[in-house]
Amino acid sequence: MDKKELDTKISDYLKFEEHPHFLNDLQQVVENKNIEELNDRFYMNLEFGTGGLRGVIGGGYNRINPYIIRKSTTGLANYINKMVKDGSVAIAYDSRNFSKIFAEEAALVLCAKGIKVYLFTSLRPTPVVSYTVRKLGCTAGIVVTASHNPAEYNGYKVYWSDGGQIVPPHDVAIINEVNTVTGKVKTMNKEKAIEQGVLIYTDKLIDEPYIELVKSCSFRPELMKAEGKNLKVVYTPLHGAGTMLVERTLGEMGIDVITVPEQREPDGDFPTVAFPNPEIVDAMKLGLELARKEKADILLGTDPDADRLGIAVPDGEKYVLVTGNQLGVLLGDYIFSSQKESGSLNSKSAFVKTIVTTELQRLVAMSYGVTSYDVLTGFKYIAEKIKEFEKTGEKYIFGGEESYGYLVTDEVRDKDAVSAAFLTVELTLYHRSRGKSVLDRLKEIWEEFGYFEELLISRYLKGEKGKAQMSGMMSSMRTSPPAEFGGISVSFMKDYKTGETYNLKTGKKEKNINLPPSNVLQFVLEEGSMVTIRPSGTEPKIKFYASCKAEPGKALETSKKEVSIKLKRIEEDVDEFLG
């Protein structure tokens, strides 16, 4: 970008932005003559993608700030007004910096467009927005969050009337509307919006029914109330939005929750962690220390918007983190077995997972006679499947993804760490009542179906160069697919962008993938292991997922060593490819 174009973009942004913090933020970069930083802030517009926005907080078109929020919300409002008369939108936000400001900016733009807004007065988990959209019959929903990203990020996710994140045709149509918005954006005075009844604070309408919904997920409420007081639960919200609802739903079932004090209060700087993500060991460090001190039966951890759940459980004298794939196996097993015991499981029962989630979950579902479906990565596709079931007559009973996202009730249409935490505590209590630990049950499942283990390698590739590098990687893989990973021959390459499966042995291609096009490549190795490559849709990074297995019938330690060797060799190949 030449200097003239850059200067014009800077000048225009400074005219459109009204918030002093963001004006000063950009002015400082201009005064410091940091051309590289200015180019990064303006070489592109922050993309309103198929899920909404996510970006670094700051002044500029390639940053998230009040002007970008206003601009994006104007596009959304224009689309809503084209689709329905008297539209309404539910809005919530998490603990990130400027989340409340961004939520109010979005609300007042919608109000100015004649759209009624239901806004929470304080932070709420992401799944609560999904629930609110359905409960109040809203046209759409917005949650201001950047999920588990580092503190410099914030974002904005959009939901449609079914409670799921936007999917075709709404996503592309909203993007097109957003891209047409330029210049100053019309907004509304907050007091005037309240006075005219287009801005409604919604806490009382939602909190109680949502809490009752979570409690209704219990299969054994009597066990919870009778024995819950004897279960020691440590919890960390990682400075996020989960505290009130996790503590309250468990507390009302008689379970005392010990919350990590240093991480209990909301704080968008996330001072005790580099990444507020319960998938990461360092993020759970304080929780693990408190769990050891208290001799807890389980440690729970939720991310800032409380849609992801991580856990750790005792294993002798130490605590081990349970992976997202493993917790999905345990939750599925508990739900399927409980429904079978109650007689509510039938031929219409359905389970949904993503294409990068362990195949062990499918095997467990099949063993109970539950039909299993694969969808693309992203919980919106699980929500879309639930909506489809409403037409087919199938009954959704559980779904999840490897990245610590689970949904245990179809009254919500996004991953929900509150209800998942609630049911995880119950399954822990249930297995203990039968003389087993959570790990004991997991080992039994491995013995029956074989040992499975997964590996995720992520590489951040920021800026314009990083975007080009990711594009080059995917193109190279498509045109010259690797013959092997970790010394194991590749049998098939599945290209989810073209919908084709390529047989590397015969050279034949077959169009047999019935999912929406997505920039994902999956390599199926000859012994059944899989390697999947996917650029993130919300962050500047590329992800490599590996899943390896050992056949049942072997000693568990032998299987673990066999799988560990496979994964290590695959990781070495991926590292070499990434340079």
Residue-range domain boundaries for the chain: 3-202, 217-449, 451-578
The string over 389-424, giving b where at least 16 C-beta atoms fall within 10 Å of a residue's C-beta and e elsewhere, is beeeebbbbbbbbbbbbbbbbbbbbbbbbbbbbbbb
Whether 147 is catalytic is: yes
217-449 placed in CATH 3.40.50.11540: no
Cα gap 93→143, rounded to integer Å? 5
- Asked if 3-202 and 451-578 have one fold, the answer is no
Cα gap 71→183, rounded to integer Å? 8
Express each pLDDT in 396-428 by its tens digit: 999 999 999 999 999 999 999 999 999 999 999
Local confidence band at 302 (pLDDT 50, 70, 90 cut-offs): very high
Mean pLDDT of 146-175: 94
Cα gap 51→383, rounded to integer Å? 13
Predicted pLDDT at 539: 64
Cα gap 119→430, rounded to integer Å? 38
Assigned CATH class of 451-578: alpha beta
CA distances from 171 to 436, 475, 532 (A): 46, 25, 25
Q: Are 482 and 502 in contact (CB under 8 A)?
A: no
- Greatest C-alpha distance within the chain: 72
Q: Which helix (H) or strand (E) holds 40?
A: helix 35-42
Among candidate residues 147, 218, 419, 529, the one labeled active-site is: 147
Cα gap 179→274, rounded to integer Å? 34
Local confidence band at 576 (pLDDT 50, 70, 90 cut-offs): confident
Mean pLDDT computed over every residue of the chain: 95
Predicted pLDDT at 535: 87
Express each pLDDT in 304-355 by its tens digit: 999 999 999 999 989 999 999 999 999 999 999 999 999 999 999 999 999 9
Using the predicted structure, report yes or no on whether residue 562 has a pLDDT greater than 80: yes
Q: Are 453 and 560 in contact (CB under 8 A)?
A: yes
Q: Are 76 and 177 in contact (CB under 8 A)?
A: yes
Cα gap 517→376, rounded to integer Å? 9
CATH superfamily to which 3-202 belongs: Alpha-D-Glucose-1,6-Bisphosphate, subunit A, domain 3 (3.40.120.10)
